Amino acid sequence: MTSMTATILLVDDQEMMREALAQHLASQSGFEVVASVSNHQSAIEAAEEHQPDVALLDIEVPGLDCFVAAREIADKSPKTRIVFLSAFCRDAYIEQALEVGTAGYIVKGEEPGVLHRAIETVVGGGTYFSEEVENRLVLGNDGLKVSEPLSTRAASLTKREREILRYIAVGMSKKEIASLVDLSVRTVDAHVRNIMGKLDLHDRVELARFAIREGLAPQ
C-alpha cells in the first residue's frame, strides 16, 4: 500500500467489539476509521457520506441483509471495496459474497495482522480471503467460485432464486425485491412460486426459516 491513508467504514452490532476494533484500526499507521456503525442501513448512509476506501461488513448483523447492503454501498460509493467479516466459513455465505463482488472475506478470530494485510491488499486493488475461505475456492471460467455445489435442496435453486429467497428471509416485500433486482413484481412472484415448488415449502415463514438454516440469510 502507498503512504496514503486508507479510510475505513466499520459495521458490527456488538458495541464493545466494534469500538475495540475501531480503536485498534485507528491506532495503525495508514488507517483512518471514518465511520463505525451498528447496522447495515447506517452503513449505506455512512458510505454515501464518507466514500470510504474499504467497508468492513459483519455478516451476522441483524436487520438489513449484509449482501443487500453491499450492493447499495457499491451503488452509492463505487470506489469502496467490500470486505466481509464472519464467525463462520459457510459455503452459502461465501457464494453470496462472491456474487456481490466482494474484495475479501475474513473469518473472525484471525490474528490482527490478517485484517491489516486484507485492508492493504484490497486498497491496492487485490482480493484477500482467510485461508479457511480460500481453501473452499477454485478459479473457474467465470472467476472465483466455491469448489463444490451446495449439497442440500438449495442446490436446486438458480442464482436468481437464491438471491430472491435471501431477500424474502430478511422480510422484504415482493415490490421491494422487484425494485432492488430490477424485475417486475409479476416476475418476482413467479420466482417465489418456483422456489416454493422446488423446496416444497408453502409460505414466507417456512422460506425464511429454510434460508436461515441453510446459511442463505443471516440469523
Sorting pLDDT into bands at 50, 70 and 90, what band is 212?
A: confident
What CATH number does residue 205 fall under? Answer: 1.10.10.10
Q: What DSSP line would sit under 118-168, residue for residue?
A: HHHHHHTT--EE-HHHHTTEEEETTEEEESS---SGGGGS-HHHHHHHHHH
What is the arithmetic mean of pLDDT over 179-187? 92
- Whether 219 is covered by a domain: the verdict is no
How far is the C-alpha of 25 from the C-alpha of 54, rounded, in Å? 12
Task: Supply the pLDDT for residue 213.
Answer: 79
| Buried/exposed code over 149-188 (b: 16+ C-beta within 10 A; e: otherwise) | ebeeebeebeeebbbbbbbbbbebebeebbebeebeeebb
Coil/strand/helix, residue 14: coil
Domain of 196 in residue numbering reads as 153-213
Percent share of the chain, pLDDT over 90: 61
**Whether 67 and 168 share a structural domain:** no
Query: Sign of the C-alpha dihedral, residues 211, 85, 114, 116?
Result: positive
**Whether 40 and 74 share a structural domain:** yes
pLDDT by residue (tens digit) across 15-72?
A: 998 999 999 998 988 999 999 999 999 999 999 999 999 999 999 898 888 999 999 9
- Whether 101 is covered by a domain: the verdict is yes
Q: What's the mean per-residue pLDDT of the chain?
A: 90
Sorting pLDDT into bands at 50, 70 and 90, what band is 114?
A: very high
Residue 20 corresponds to which cell in the numbers above? Answer: 475495540
**Whether 174 and 189 share a structural domain:** yes
Lowest mean pLDDT among 14-18, 78-82, 108-112, 114-118: 108-112
For the chain, the farthest-separated pair of C-alpha atoms sits apart, in whole angstroms, at: 56
Residue 100 corresponds to which cell in the numbers above? Answer: 456481490
How far is the C-alpha of 166 from the C-alpha of 207, rounded, in Å? 9
Sorting pLDDT into bands at 50, 70 and 90, what band is 91?
A: confident
Task: Supply the pLDDT for residue 22.
Answer: 93
**Whether 129 and 46 share a structural domain:** yes
Domain end, chosen from 99, 123, 146, is at: 146
Q: Which residues pair with 56 in a beta bridge?
A: 10, 83
Q: Which residues pair with 55 in a beta bridge?
A: 9, 82
pTM of structure: 0.74
**Whether 167 and 140 share a structural domain:** no
* 3 has pLDDT over 70: no
Task: Supply the pLDDT for residue 69.
Answer: 95
User: 98 or 149: whose pLDDT is higher?
Assistant: 98
pLDDT by residue (tens digit) across 129-147?
A: 999 999 888 887 778 888 7
What number of residues does the chain have?
Answer: 219
Domain count, the chain: 2
Under 8 Å between Cβ of 41 and 18: no
Query: What are the strands of the beta sheet with 128-129, ordered from one edge?
Result: 31-37, 6-11, 54-58, 81-86, 104-107, 128-129
Task: Supply the pLDDT for residue 45.
Answer: 97
Task: Supply the pLDDT for residue 151.
Answer: 54
- Whether 218 is covered by a domain: the verdict is no
**Whether 62 and 112 share a structural domain:** yes
